Amino acid sequence: MTKEMICISCPIGCHIEVTRNQDEITVRGNKCSRGEIYGKEELLSPKRVVTATCPADSILMARIPVKTTRPIGKELINSLLEDLYKTRVQAPVQCGAVIMENYAGTGVDVVVTKSLSS
């Protein structure tokens, strides 16, 4: 089985081919070793950084932007988004404040990406 994909580990965006032959996975088209890591991970267990907004208890903004601190398994993204949309962030809050810790035991936190004074 061969899958074509674009490495998103840097802005170059190499077109890579990832081939699985029984237990062996080979990656071609990558300009650096990060592409090999990305290709193998994308085939076996794809992950993404998630960005979203949460409701904010503030007179300045109705919603506040948030993101995961690291990529999270794609299979968890829908449940994470459902939880985020239900999570109210109380102002004042500083950029980088953790609003969810160790989501679903993954070790990944969710932080706010904008400070909000009131």
Q: Which of residues 37-76 bind ligand SF4 (CB under 6 A)?
A: 38
Among 2, 3, 26, 31, binds ligand SF4 (CB under 6 A): 31
Least distance CB 5 / ligand SF4 (angstroms):
10
Residue 35 found at the interface with ligand SF4 (CB under 6 A): yes
Whether the Cβ atoms of residue 89 and residue 99 lie closer than 8 Å to each other: yes
Residue 15 found at the interface with ligand SF4 (CB under 6 A): no
Q: 65 by DSSP, 3-state: which?
A: strand
Q: 27 by DSSP, 3-state: which?
A: strand
Among 2, 3, 13, 81, binds ligand SF4 (CB under 6 A): 13
**56 bridge partner residues:** 89
Whether the Cβ atoms of residue 14 and residue 35 lie closer than 8 Å to each other: yes
Residue 12 found at the interface with ligand SF4 (CB under 6 A): yes
Whether the Cβ atoms of residue 113 and residue 66 lie closer than 8 Å to each other: yes
Applying CB under 6 A, the residues found at the interface with ligand SF4 are 7, 9-10, 12-14, 30-32, 34-35, 38
